[in-house]
Structure 1
Amino acid sequence: MRLSRRLRNQRVDESLSPTEMSVLATLARCGSATPGELARKEHVQPPSMTRIVAMLEGKGLVRREPHPEDRRQVVVSSTEQAAAMLEESRLKRNAWLAGLAESLSEEELAVLRQAAPVLEKLAHL
């Protein structure tokens, strides 16, 4: 948990909360979604997601478009600005982790390489 928390702090835009960054990452990974779908994926209440989407839209990081089948809903998608910010944050986190990894022994690095597929599986369960 401590490593995860420290890793989350390695982001480019300090004004965004971890939840807001997570919403952008979900949109980048899964594609466009309704606010309700995003709320379910992020485990937040729909009114909270509505506020998050409005804030992200105000910063130019997402855009809302009419739902193609249901005019009562909107579809949220990330912008190019969000993609660039996520990539820059990813590069920053990777550099930070690489710096940490330099202090590990060859044996410790070997253990990490063996554990990586298991950790990846756990992350996607």
Structure 2
Amino acid sequence: MPSDVAQQVKSDVGLASALRSSIMRLSRQIRWQRVDDAELTANQLSVLGALAKHDAMTLGELAAHEKVKPPSMTRIVSNMEAAGLLVRRPHETDKRLVLVELTEAARALILANRRRRDEWLKTKLKTLTPEEREILRKAAPVLEKLAAL
């Protein structure tokens, strides 16, 4: 770790600032590795991620999860449905509701993105020393915990 960063992270404020800055730069670089034939918006990518994690969701659940108003989510889903990335189907128990789920094309796009990003990051990790990679192995669960708070 460069000495200026090492000095900065000695306080909690410095640690917060260094983490924010580093995580934002790394996140940006990872986003640039995206396979994006469909040229999806950030909202659409977020919807894909939510549905990949939670499987099928109602429009209301998806809107709440993404913190957007239901009419906005309806518009997002309609555009993605037209692009062949999402399908709607009736809810199993409540016929008033509609479930939204990924198509195989969306699943393939998500997998291609994950593979490309993982490969890029794996290449970057190889440039680190074994000790630095071990630090990251120990930090990964802590960062996940921080992200979940």
Give the TM-score of the pair, scaled to structure 1. Answer: 0.89
SS of match in other structure, 2:56: coil
Alignment partner, residue 51 of structure 1? 75
Aligned to 1:65, the other structure's residue is in SS state: strand
1:66 correspondence with 2:96: no
Structure 2, gaps ≥5 residues long: 1-23
1:104 to 128, 131, 136: 128
Aligned position for 2:42 = 18
Which residue identity lines up with residue 117 of structure 1 in the other structure? P
Secondary structure of 1:11's counterpart equals coil
Instruction: Count how many residue pairs are aligned between Structure 1 and Structure 2.
Output: 125
**Aligned equivalent of 1:41, options 65, 68, 72:** 65
Task: Compare CA radii of gyration and give the structure with the larger one.
Answer: 2
The aligned residue for residue 116 of structure 2 is 92
| Greater mean deviation of Cα atoms: 88-97 or 11-20 | 11-20
Matched, 1:2 2:25: yes
**Percent of residue pairs identical:** 51
2:144 matches 1:120: yes
Structure 1 window deviating more from structure 2 (94-103 vs 3-12): it is 3-12
Question: Within 2, Cα distance between the matches of 1:56 and 1:111?
Answer: 40
The whole-number CA distance in structure 2 between the counterparts of 1:3 and 1:69 is 43
Name the CA distance, whole Å, in 2 between partners of 1:36 and 1:2.
33
> Looking at both structures, which has the greater relative contact order when contacts are Cα pairs under 8 Å and sequence separation is at least 6?
1
Q: Give the Cα–Cα distance (whole angstroms) in 2 for the partners of residues 19 and 100 of structure 1.
A: 28
Q: CA deviation at 1:88?
A: 0.5
Residues 26 and 101 of structure 1, relative CA distance in 2, 3 Å threshold: same
Task: Compare 101-110 and 65-74 and name the one that shifted more.
Answer: 65-74
